[in-house]
Structure 1
């Protein structure tokens, strides 16, 4: 794939990603499935989780904890196009790395980080790591698997040198903690998540999720989501006086026709007539 400067480009070498573009800002919501380092070579990036926003400038790096939903907005700064590099640390790689550690030297009393977005200090180890990878995103010099593995190891060592709290965060291989199902769904009902996604992000297998859900609701998960979206939509129509064209996307419907049909089936009147009641 050849890099150009007039459109978004993403190169992927195993678990190292390079993104580059020069026009306008690009944003997306994403579920961070694996621990990730993101370094801004040029331009700037905004990361948001709930109401918390962090701005990452040129030469800065951020650590994203796995299993969290984050909004990323990447944009040029002046004439400087956005260029960023990401390192993704998969569970299998971290397990293999952990086997090489002298367990007697582990800081066992250290607690893991609680923030899901952590701005890192600008250390020589972080800067040299990402600057050394820039030449490999020239199409004529693709890195070997050995080089990629070495860079991922450098990333882990750089994190551990910065703060011992990364030990319990990176090397926690226990089963995910079962977070409250309804609490998660109340917070994330408007997102395009499958039932399999919700099961994963609440720390359950699909079978366990379905069994646990029956303990907290008489509805199926799909029916619960539909009811939640429609009830919130009705509240927005009646009390916030919002337009139907605004509401259907806000509550998680993909098209207005589906929304209108479901709304009328539940309440007995179309959403466009709600404000007349």
Structure 2
């Protein structure tokens, strides 16, 4: 078995993965609360990279673009319990509970370390995954609302995230691209996430950067990779995926073509 997913409902799942690490670019449609049982995940966003291991619990905001790389680790599978906190579920919750604090989207990943109450809530879901249709349908609703209540008790500012129901519209292209250039997406996806058609995205991009998207993206990704290898003493094999390249050979070719020497020769200095 390489990959298996079990569901309590569409909003609560248990994933079990064995095999080679896999990477994907995603935008999270819903807030996601994740409990790590084993393995490792890197979440690469514009300003920082988060690494999560066994025992970690974290909350990822919705409408956030990220590169996600999942790894089995220490001879154990990549195994997590994930709970989607959907807009509909949160609207129902906050119709009965007064939100506190400023209602604004918070652009960060929340990390909860060794919190017994939250871990107990997530761990209590494990027996339910094998019950299937025998599980009472309202159990999932109860467990999600329990998790929301615990999150609010842990962090008084989390309402600013969970109780904000606005959807993003057309956004500043320059700011978006400077933050997300390492994400390996199609022009259609870049256009979608900036609120533009492909043709409008290309036109606005040319106006903002005076070059084509592909040339600019390749240059920015190579500069990022060069920085990590030269300044952070990281190996090319550990850098190219995070910088937005699909394979090592293409990265090495583009790197040498740009800088006049291979990434390996830079790493060996």
TM-score, scaled relative to structure 2: 0.67
Work out the CA distance in 2 between the residues paired with 1:233 and 1:166: 33
Work out the CA distance in 2 between the residues paired with 1:193 and 1:133: 34
Work out the CA distance in 2 between the residues paired with 1:145 and 1:28: 33
**Cα separation, partners in 2 of 1:112 and 1:165, compared to 1, 3 Å:** farther
**Cα separation, partners in 2 of 1:167 and 1:55, compared to 1, 3 Å:** same
1:52 to 14, 39, 49: 49
Work out the CA distance in 1 between the residues paired with 2:54 and 2:143: 22
Aligned to 2:212: 224
Work out the CA distance in 2 between the residues paired with 1:64 and 1:171: 14
Work out the CA distance in 1 between the residues paired with 2:244 and 2:151: 38
* Structure number, greater radius of gyration: 1
**What SS does the aligned partner of 2:212 have?**
helix
Q: CA deviation at 1:168?
A: 0.8
Work out the CA distance in 1 between the residues paired with 2:128 and 2:19: 25
Q: Deviations over 1:41-65 (max 9, x none)?
A: 3x2323332543333323x311112
Aligned to 1:90: 86
**What SS does the aligned partner of 1:125 have?**
helix
RCO (CA 8 Å, sep 6+): is it higher in 1 or 2?
2
**What SS does the aligned partner of 1:135 have?**
helix
Aligned to 2:16: 20
Structure 1 spans left out of the alignment, 5+ residues? 1-5, 241-246, 264-270
2:165 to 158, 170, 173: 173
Structure 2 spans left out of the alignment, 5+ residues? 230-239, 261-269
Q: How many residues in Structure 1 have an aligned counterpart in Structure 2?
A: 240
Work out the CA distance in 1 between the residues paired with 2:50 and 2:222: 30
**Cα separation, partners in 2 of 1:133 and 1:142, compared to 1, 3 Å:** farther
Aligned to 2:263: none
